[in-house]
Structure 1
């Protein structure tokens, strides 16, 4: 049942004519599942490398050896565990390749992945306990006390249970490894990733090929002042399958339309990404915010909001783009368009959709259907990304021969062509190009409009560290704009960034983002945020499998399994208390990310926190409040629960009604990111803030903070301090220059 939901939730993004959507057809379901789980274990090698480094760290080794007899048994168990994981690592590349056609190998990789997660949890818990003990010892010596410091929680570390957990993991791994011989997995098979050698791979997203005629046709309709029947507004549908370039074309026309005439053609221009939104109030709200450039209001009734929009549009000539429409029915559309009757003649609405039925219901002019681009245009687009606009003649002749064969397999789909062009950029070895051309992935059963093989290939040849970072992004819903800095901090909290020489982790993360953008896995929006194409979001979801899950009002908490490690929540206002408690029973969760808090009762909000104490492996906790709605103060129990999450690295309390940061939060010695943005009641930080030795990012913007304690200057890892709009703050600590690693100090808006 869970697998069925997963397919249903992701496959809806494909062309409605696709046979793949028929979930009742067992053959149709089994084949794509086999292909789409191609990369289920592709980043395990990188996970193991990190795990081994934690096992061998000086803190863990010294901590274990200090426990005498039981410590020796644990050390012996870890040594055996590492040997078994090294054995598994030798066959990972062959397993990743064979799982394309072998379901048993796929299942083997999934079980291995879960065992590695369990081992990671154990080692991180041990490393954390070692650090906590060391900090307590240092505090005791410094204060010349023989008892433990109150700011640190008493140890619940049970070495007997640790020994049992190691035995259980070893037993599981023994069973898994016994199967590798029967699966005929070969050691030493190499998969060479295509590496970047230049940052010149970044390209302009507006560069499109083979769409001149399409652009002119849309421009002609937008420039026309003719009315369509009795409608004042011309509604122009742009239709095509995913990845064909509907949004790119619409963006190009939207940007260039004013350059076609001597004067401004439209009084108001707005762009709305619709996706799954379908109710009249939500869509009207999005449109009103876009056309008025306002986010503040108190209107809760649809008719009042539509009246305000109607008044604003009265007599104005507008251009509105509704991008990526999925499920707006005719009745919703009739209600939605009522306010536009007040707009001036010549107003236009352009929609993009994959659904021809929606285009027929909404559009009042014939649909403009995008076709695949020609082989020659595909080659030009491929060359743009593969050769950075340098003439292919400057490269070995054989590359063009192979490249033209590769783009034929993309069947004229721009996203696929662009993705493979980015994959092969700066790769001059013809053999590497031939490996892509001759990959078994191309031979997977093809269905109508099946374009995923090219995207799988682009992912398959990513460096391992980028595979893990990309897969983690499945936690974000479709059409979600990701702030680059936030993404890097989340990667950092999950240990997905590999330290490189003396580079700060923030710089390493920035390089990862650049690399993924250059390979077309991310698109940089006009506001600098990162977005993922729907098909790439689907790919990330398939890669992460059950380990990442996004829930909203449409899906039950019951979908979360014991294998779910990363969870994000949307429209988090209607869950009842029982569902909330059930959802918080996942004790192995590492990420809990609330993306839209919505309306939450005080009881729900308190339970959300008090239930957290069982999530001992949580590294990311982001539960911001919507400050324009009602707010409730956090209870003491809530703080106590959070204070027990000693592995926590990322904490976001934005918009919370807290007056002071309690000392217990300063016991979270692993914390790297603390966000207290728009906490309007917050007036001070505790002097014990310097216990957060690993804190790198602190955001107190738009709080009522009056003073920054001098102890903050002991946070030598602090990279960013944000104090924007802190009008009550009049002076900074006198010794702030002690923050030797501080790169960003934001203090605008103080007056």
Structure 2
């Protein structure tokens, strides 16, 4: 049963939530002060204590400030308690009016999962027949698939797109997710991967093609005609398959005959989909009473697959009759037509989520349209917000493990879909159906906001905690930009989005006014320097500076004692680390996708024992005269010694700069059991003897759990013993790449690696044998020959 609330009740709840946030802020500040003392006081204790007497971190000043804030919180709680009875009297049991924002659409592709197309065989055959046997009256013919949200229009289009008969019939296949913004130039670029409109006409000339335009909302005939002119080629039989919710959209696209109306699944197929989620495949016979209730629930789903999957997932762990009857008889099914824009089944699923999953789901409202969600990054942001319940003391389970569990539960309940896995089976990306995304925006309510800066003051609405600010080239964000300064301090999340590669000015005053932030994204803004005031954001847990043009990080960033995630991907000019990196004691993820200008890693990095993600480690050249001034801050390969929690991918570059093979042994790669992929690169400007590289390589033995190994620019003549003596030392290797190794003469017996599936060998100019088997060399590399 839903509860309707008048403005007085909503105001009372908002005040209560605001106090809860403020209580959390106070507790976090106490924890931060304790962490600061732990980090700063052990070294130069007397000097530090004298300085603190005259600084903003003076203990007496801090305690006085906290005492005043606690007193204020107690007074506010007293006032809220007095309003409690009056507010409760305003609750009524009736339906809630809900406003849904439909301006945000999902991004799709042509990949289809077989289990998602139950009951669509007939539709598939009909569409394949239309596509492959269409008449030749026109060069380009259109088939729109029309149906309400959640029916599976995109899934059906993917199913047809990947059919072998369709692939054989057309010379060219293309897939574009159009979504809300029907921009002809952008669609052309998507088709051609950022090429021009004239190149589009050239590409389509004399070719019979299939183009899928997914999720089309444009109802302006002129825009469609502009695109149609570009798509007319000389080859007859070309087809455009469109998915849309609107019959009006379908009609203006001038289909061959009419549109293809997609109906709901029949009850049998819908029940099968529901039962598979609710009971497991073939196990529904164990619960005959629940199956009967399930049939009644399925009828209310109206044949919509998304609804059946969501409710089946919701009930999969519930085996009491009462729980099933509660879903069957909920008042949400009786919502009016306007309120049914978000499927009732999705709202029921959301209402049954535990509180920690509700806030994780609502946080996804921040994502812009057409956004592919990086699952690992999403979990890191959940961590930063404190949404993930910490593991029990002494447990080997990490926050990331629990976050993955949260994600998989939301995925199972159909709040996420279309997952993409890497070659090792790890989920990397996912998407949200547009109905689900609308639900996330609705449940987030007043706590999120999205605005344009436009070089004018930004008003932060009351209650907003998570904010997206869109800026344009030349915008300057300063302390005067945020006109509600007190509300700026309450923000927990800020995404700044600019035009990619354009410079957006950000002043120190603007940053320092955001002291309550947990997550700050300053990605692709063209920033040439990072404001030193960033060190004032003491509650910051997540900082993304990727894609900017700064050369150095200010040392003040090392005052962010709570920082868990620091993203520095594609910072092409970055080459100078802050000197006090060891103070970032909570750092877990240092995201480096490429080394770019970096010539060394910071001294003391190895003390960050919680580090799980690194990506790149660059061995600096300590003999380079130009960098002798950096010698004291330059960390050697031994910094990897204590980083045994490193996971995923690690590239060690500049191994040619290792002067002592014992440094390589000190790295202790064989203790890093969570690493899945390792790249070893020797490229250096100095000349070395092959024997030196062989000694270094010998001491870089990885853990047996490693799945991918890449070796590049190795100057040795032979491979290390741990690769040649026994493949049991690398029993899990799935992919092996060896390239640009000009002196290498002999490879290990590759056929003895039991799990090897992918092998790449190229630019091995001196290769003579693979464990004494002769090698036949070609122009591009080497291939094994001899007896098999």
Q: What is the TM-score when the length of structure 1 is the normalising length? A: 0.74
Q: Name the structure 1 match of 2:439.
A: 539
Partner Cα separation in structure 1 for residue 203 and residue 303 of structure 2: 43
Question: What pairs with 1:241-280 in structure 2 (closer than 5 Å)?
Answer: 241-256=148-163, 259-260=164-165, 264-280=168-184
Partner Cα separation in structure 1 for residue 16 and residue 533 of structure 2: 32
Does the alignment pair 1:126 with 2:30?
A: yes
Going from structure 1 to structure 2, the CA distance change for 1:132 and 1:735 (only over 3 Å counts) comes to closer
Shift of 1:593: 1.9
Aligned counterpart for 1:598 among listed residues 490, 493, 500 = 500
Aligned counterpart for 1:353 among listed residues 239, 244, 250 = 244
Question: What pairs with 1:290-309 in structure 2 (closer than 5 Å)?
Answer: 305-309=196-200
Partner Cα separation in structure 2 for residue 732 and residue 314 of structure 1: 57
Q: Name the structure 2 match of 1:510.
A: 404
Partner Cα separation in structure 1 for residue 114 and residue 82 of structure 2: 49
SS of the equivalent of 2:215 reads strand
Partner Cα separation in structure 1 for residue 591 and residue 356 of structure 2: 28
Partner Cα separation in structure 1 for residue 78 and residue 114 of structure 2: 49
Does the alignment pair 1:733 with 2:637?
A: yes
Q: Name the structure 1 match of 2:777.
A: none
Q: Name the structure 2 match of 1:340.
A: 231
Q: What is the TM-score when the length of structure 2 is the normalising length? A: 0.71
Going from structure 1 to structure 2, the CA distance change for 1:611 and 1:264 (only over 3 Å counts) comes to same
Q: Name the structure 2 match of 1:633.
A: 528
Partner Cα separation in structure 2 for residue 250 and residue 580 of structure 1: 50
Give unpaired runs (5+ residues) of structure 1. 1-96, 187-202, 290-294, 298-304
Shift of 1:728: 8.0
Partner Cα separation in structure 2 for residue 736 and residue 566 of structure 1: 36
Partner Cα separation in structure 2 for residue 351 and residue 670 of structure 1: 49
SS of the equivalent of 2:468 reads strand
SS of the equivalent of 2:169 reads coil
Going from structure 1 to structure 2, the CA distance change for 1:250 and 1:600 (only over 3 Å counts) comes to same
Q: Name the structure 1 match of 2:569.
A: 677
Partner Cα separation in structure 2 for residue 556 and residue 348 of structure 1: 47
Shift of 1:532: 1.0
Q: Name the structure 2 match of 1:720.
A: 613
Shift of 1:712: 0.3
Shift of 1:222: 1.6
Does the alignment pair 1:368 with 2:272?
A: no
Q: Name the structure 2 match of 1:658.
A: 550
CA contact (8 A) 2:278 2:315 kept: yes
Q: Name the structure 2 match of 1:405.
A: 296
SS of the equivalent of 2:178 reads strand
Shift of 1:185: 8.4
Question: What pairs with 1:22-33 in structure 2 (closer than 5 Å)?
Answer: none
CA contact (8 A) 2:546 2:567 kept: yes
Partner Cα separation in structure 1 for residue 620 and residue 41 of structure 2: 38
Aligned counterpart for 1:711 among listed residues 604, 628, 641 = 604
Does the alignment pair 1:690 with 2:582?
A: yes
Aligned counterpart for 2:189 among listed residues 268, 285, 288 = 285
Partner Cα separation in structure 2 for residue 385 and residue 574 of structure 1: 52
Going from structure 1 to structure 2, the CA distance change for 1:537 and 1:448 (only over 3 Å counts) comes to closer
Shift of 1:276: 2.0
CA contact (8 A) 2:547 2:568 kept: yes
Partner Cα separation in structure 2 for residue 184 and residue 321 of structure 1: 53
Deviates more, 1:586-595 or 1:479-488: 586-595
Shift of 1:483: 0.7
Question: What pairs with 1:203-242 in structure 2 (closer than 5 Å)?
Answer: 206-228=115-137, 231-242=138-149
Shift of 1:616: 0.3
CA contact (8 A) 1:565 1:590 kept: yes
CA contact (8 A) 1:277 1:283 kept: no
Question: What pairs with 1:303-702 in structure 2 (closer than 5 Å)?
Answer: 305-327=196-218, 329-342=220-233, 344-365=235-256, 366-395=258-287, 397-447=288-338, 450=341, 452-501=343-392, 502=395, 503-526=397-420, 528-551=428-451, 560-569=460-469, 572-573=472-473, 581-582=481-482, 585=485, 586-594=488-496, 597-598=499-500, 600-601=502-503, 604-607=504-507, 610-625=509-524, 631-634=526-529, 638-702=530-594
Deviates more, 1:727-736 or 1:103-112: 727-736
Shift of 1:272: 1.6
CA contact (8 A) 2:454 2:475 kept: no
Going from structure 1 to structure 2, the CA distance change for 1:669 and 1:448 (only over 3 Å counts) comes to closer
Aligned residue pairs total: 607
CA contact (8 A) 2:375 2:430 kept: yes
CA contact (8 A) 2:478 2:506 kept: no
SS of the equivalent of 1:235 reads strand
Partner Cα separation in structure 2 for residue 432 and residue 410 of structure 1: 17
SS of the equivalent of 2:27 reads helix
CA contact (8 A) 1:619 1:650 kept: yes
Shift of 1:176: 2.5
Shift of 1:612: 1.4
Which structure would you say has the larger RCO, counting Cα contacts within 8 Å and 6 or more residues apart?
Answer: 1
Partner Cα separation in structure 2 for residue 554 and residue 661 of structure 1: 28
Shift of 1:719: 0.6
Partner Cα separation in structure 2 for residue 154 and residue 248 of structure 1: 57
CA contact (8 A) 1:571 1:596 kept: yes
Shift of 1:210: 3.4
Partner Cα separation in structure 1 for residue 592 and residue 128 of structure 2: 47
Deviates more, 1:420-429 or 1:205-214: 205-214
SS of the equivalent of 2:42 reads helix
Does the alignment pair 1:165 with 2:66?
A: no
Aligned counterpart for 1:114 among listed residues 18, 37, 40 = 18
Going from structure 1 to structure 2, the CA distance change for 1:345 and 1:140 (only over 3 Å counts) comes to farther
Going from structure 1 to structure 2, the CA distance change for 1:519 and 1:275 (only over 3 Å counts) comes to same
Deviates more, 1:566-575 or 1:368-377: 566-575
Q: Name the structure 1 match of 2:104.
A: none
Partner Cα separation in structure 1 for residue 228 and residue 58 of structure 2: 62
CA contact (8 A) 1:139 1:149 kept: no
Partner Cα separation in structure 2 for residue 727 and residue 678 of structure 1: 19
Shift of 1:204: 5.1
Shift of 1:469: 0.5
Shift of 1:386: 0.9
CA contact (8 A) 2:362 2:443 kept: yes
SS of the equivalent of 1:342 reads coil
CA contact (8 A) 1:553 1:574 kept: no
RMSD over equivalenced CA pairs, Å: 3.3
Q: Name the structure 1 match of 2:740.
A: none
Going from structure 1 to structure 2, the CA distance change for 1:564 and 1:610 (only over 3 Å counts) comes to same
Give unpaired runs (5+ residues) of structure 2. 91-111, 422-427, 623-634, 652-678, 682-711, 713-788
